[in-house]
Amino acid sequence: MSTENEGAAVPSEAKPPTGPQPDSASASGAQTPGAPPAPGARPAAPPPPDFAPTVATAPGGFDEPGPMPPAYGAGHPRQPGYGHPGDDPATEQTSQFPTYSAAGPGAGAGGWGQQPPYGGGGDPWGTTGNPAPKRRNGGLIAAVLVAALVAGGVGGGIGFWAAGQNEGASTTVSASGDPGALNRKPTSVSGIAQKALPSVVTIEAQGATGDGGTGTGFIYDKQGHILTNNHVVASAANGGKLTATFSNGKKYDAEVVGNAQGYDVAVIKLKNASGAPLNPLPLGKSSNVQVGDATIAIGAPFGLSGTVTTGIISAKDRPVASSDGGGTSASYMSALQTDASINPGNSGGPLMDAGGNVIGINSAIQSAGNGGGLGGESQQSGSIGLGFAIPIDQARRVAQDLIRTGKPVYPQIGVQVGMRDTGNGATIAKTGNNGSDAVTPNGPADKAGLKPGDTITKLDDTVVDSGPTLISEIWQHKPGDEVTLTYKRAGKEHTTQVTLGQRTGDK
């Protein structure tokens, strides 16, 4: 509450000066007190008034303080609201009408009626070289001043009273409500959301031991297949319970058709799709996406189904490794980075472009203070504007394999590389896991001449700075593709052509 006008007191009654007075007018021909005025001389200045002009401090009268008008908002406590930042009672700021401060020397600023004494100047009696005004004129000026102040106070009080009595009156302007004035074209965010939301489902997964969580998926085809993340459904993949709830509230049981841990992609299918709105979302081309393109993310962050957020593509080909939620298996992607707000529960939901086409599957986020992603949802981390989505070009190929065979197919070059060293490339290990060969005999890399200890620094034109980057770049291709690898051996740089092989299923 503002207190800038509090404590401004009405000045005590003014008294005429006592004792000898300086003869400030002697050089001007002032007369001796009691002597008759000389002919033609100006009359002597009257003595100062025996009162000081008082100012009404309220509409109650000249000298009596009347009741103050209530402060603005008094008697109307602040109502709690949902999502209002800063609703801390300790820091609440309120406003009120300015108090009617007393005018006069020493009065505080901010009140109405703060006029200087009628004489003006530094001497309160106005004797700074000019004759004092006649008594009747001084009284008139004081009366006018008081009347004006009282009128102002009464007017303010009446205005406040009238406003309180006529609550129905309003000076606001109502909107016309014309829908045509709103930007809800099919290509607007609202238009895209209205079309896409019926094809986005909230997935609830529960394992045989009771563990599970909530995620998102979207309709992939008219046969009832739904595309989502592996880590969303992993707990229910073996003997668990899986349901999919549409935006209209209808819930359907579902089952896992196939899941790929390495890609973090899964396909589920409704067990009884009768009556379900099976309208597949259009799939775009993630290879055509450019940094700065608009994005729209739809999902169920923290279980809040049907949440729509927007942003842009912040980066492309971002190497990301994330957990499957259990912390036992990692996935790798050359991700689309977006600043659209995504949180735990958005996993598996569509990342769409400005045309309403799916360009990615929301899969992971970078959290402040840790390196976790959406795979580690038990941490309940929140969005800081660093979200990552699996490019739809890769996800579509994986989904087709899962629907066709139930198993994922991975392209590979047949080497084992270090996963912790970063910055200098992906170095082929000296020995493989459990005594195996670091370079698979007669595999793609072996045929291309690669050896243990070689450091791969490029795949085609993409710089490789680590093992996860190499894997995520290889997995953007399909088996049989030919790629160019740049590598270093004994400080010298070499290039070689490698035809990608394949591995079926997760290890």
Catalytic residues, by residue number, are 231, 264, 347
* CA gap 46, 44 in Å, rounded: 6
Can you spell out the DSSP letters for 115-151? ---TT-SSSTT--SSSPPPPHHHHHHHHHHHHHHHHH
* CA gap 209, 232 in Å, rounded: 16
* CA gap 496, 473 in Å, rounded: 16
Q: Taking Cα atoms as reference points, which of 353, 354, 376 lies closest to residue 363?
A: 376
Phi, psi of 448 (to 5 degrees): -85, -5
Residues ≥6 apart with Cβ < 8 Å to 194: none
CA 137 to chain centre: 65
* Side chain identity at residue 473, one-letter code: E
Q: Is 300 exposed, middle or buried (0-12, 13-18, 19+ CB in 10 A)?
A: buried
Using only C-alpha atoms, what is the Rg of the chain?
A: 41
* CA gap 395, 333 in Å, rounded: 10
3-state secondary structure of 427: strand
